[in-house]
């Protein structure tokens, strides 16, 4: 605004009373009249010729707004006030295509696609190594009864009709030998036997053994008489099978 005002003032001849010695005044008058020779208010607008004072002769702040004409003020106001905004101009031509930008980060994984059709069967692979033996499975249901087998060879003689027989026998003392016998029931044979002395008297057993019909024990009683209990285990023993004919 200051430079514009200075430019406008350069064309105005008003308010230049203090610089009368510059411009179009003759050299003779300039050498005869100085600033000290001019009293305040002594130079008027009519005393200054057109274009006699230029912008270079004006000092900033030496010309006030009241010293300007209405035409100059109107011109300054129109120059300082911006006009209305103009219309948007037409779009210019498209610029050249820029260089490709850097690749952006990878996006999130998309949803799983639908299962495709099954491919053709491949060639059989090589047999794998044998695995560990698995645990034993549960027992299966009982199968149907098989056919009867052939008769086997005759077995060993069988034993049946077990029976234990007990008896008490008196033993004579005085150092004598006494044999006591317990017999098996009819039709049985002795398998084992034994004895027990019924008192605290001393008696020595000489023999304890089976007989064809029972069990026999021989005692020697050196002191008083006593008694003993005998038993025999008997059973029916079948005869062994006959040897095969030659």
Rounded to whole angstroms, how far apart are CA atoms 171 and 197? 9
pLDDT above 70 coverage of the chain, percent = 72
**What confidence score (pLDDT) does residue 184 get?**
96
The angle subtended at Cα 47 by Cα 57 and Cα 41, nearest 5°, is 80
Query: Nearest to residue 10, comparing CAs of 42, 45, 46, 51?
Result: 51
**What confidence score (pLDDT) does residue 11 get?**
38
Say if CB 63 and CB 28 are below 8 A apart. no
Query: Nearest to residue 25, comparing CAs of 51, 1, 2, 7?
Result: 51
Tell me which of 34-43, 69-78, 210-219 is least confident.
34-43
The angle subtended at Cα 120 by Cα 116 and Cα 122, nearest 5°, is 125
**What confidence score (pLDDT) does residue 12 get?**
38
Q: How far is CA 49 from CA 7, 13, 32, 61, in A?
A: 18, 7, 19, 22
Residues 192-226 have pLDDT tens digits of 999 998 776 678 899 999 999 999 999 988 888 88
**What confidence score (pLDDT) does residue 33 get?**
66
Rounded to whole angstroms, how far apart are CA atoms 119 and 121? 7
Top pLDDT among 198 and 42 is at 198
pLDDT over 60 (residue 1): no
**What confidence score (pLDDT) does residue 45 get?**
65
The confidence band for 167, taking pLDDT boundaries of 50, 70 and 90, is very high
pLDDT over 80 (residue 188): yes
Mean pLDDT over each residue of the chain, to the nearest integer? 77
Query: Nearest to residue 185, comparing CAs of 208, 157, 161?
Result: 161
Q: How far is CA 244 from CA 153, 154, 239, 241, in A?
A: 10, 10, 15, 9
**What confidence score (pLDDT) does residue 49 get?**
66
**What confidence score (pLDDT) does residue 2 get?**
40
**What confidence score (pLDDT) does residue 75 get?**
81
Mean pLDDT for 223-236 is: 90
pLDDT above 90 coverage of the chain, percent = 24
**What confidence score (pLDDT) does residue 174 get?**
82
Domains and CATH numbers, the chain: 2-80 (no CATH), 159-237 (2.60.40)
Rounded to whole angstroms, how far apart are CA atoms 59 and 6? 9
The confidence band for 4, taking pLDDT boundaries of 50, 70 and 90, is very low
**What confidence score (pLDDT) does residue 6 get?**
42
Mean pLDDT for 171-181 is: 86
Query: Nearest to residue 63, comparing CAs of 21, 104, 2, 129?
Result: 2
Strands lying side by side in the sheet with 214-221: 176-183, 214-221, 204-210
**What confidence score (pLDDT) does residue 243 get?**
61
């Amino acid at each position: 605004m200051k430079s514009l005002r200075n430019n406008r003032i350069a064309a105005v001849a008003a308010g230049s009373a203090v610089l009368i010695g510059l411009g179009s005044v003759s050299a003779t008058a300039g050498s005869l009249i100085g600033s000290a020779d001019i009293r305040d208010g002594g130079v008027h607008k009519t005393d200054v010729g057109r274009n006699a004072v230029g912008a270079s002769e004006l000092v900033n702040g030496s010309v006030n707004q009241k010293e300007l004409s209405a035409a100059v003020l109107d011109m300054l106001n129109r120059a300082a006030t911006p006009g209305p905004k103009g219309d948007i101009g037409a779009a210019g031509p498209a610029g050249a295509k820029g260089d490709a930008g850097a690749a952006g980060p990878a996006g999130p994984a998309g949803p799983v696609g639908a299962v495709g059709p099954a491919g053709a069967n491949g060639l059989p692979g090589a047999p794998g190594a044998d695995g560990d033996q698995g645990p034993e499975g549960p027992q299966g249901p009982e199968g149907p009864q098989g056919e009867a087998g052939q008769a086997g060879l005759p077995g060993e003689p069988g034993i049946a009709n077990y029976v234990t027989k007990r008896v008490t026998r008196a033993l004579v003392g005085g150092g004598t030998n006494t044999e006591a016998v317990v017999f098996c029931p009819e039709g049985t044979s002795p398998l084992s036997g034994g004895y027990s002395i019924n008192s605290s008297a001393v008696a020595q057993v000489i023999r304890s053994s089976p007989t064809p019909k029972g069990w026999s024990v021989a005692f020697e009683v050196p002191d008083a008489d006593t008694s003993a209990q005998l038993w025999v285990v008997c059973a029916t023993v079948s005869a062994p099978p006959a040897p095969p004919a030659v």
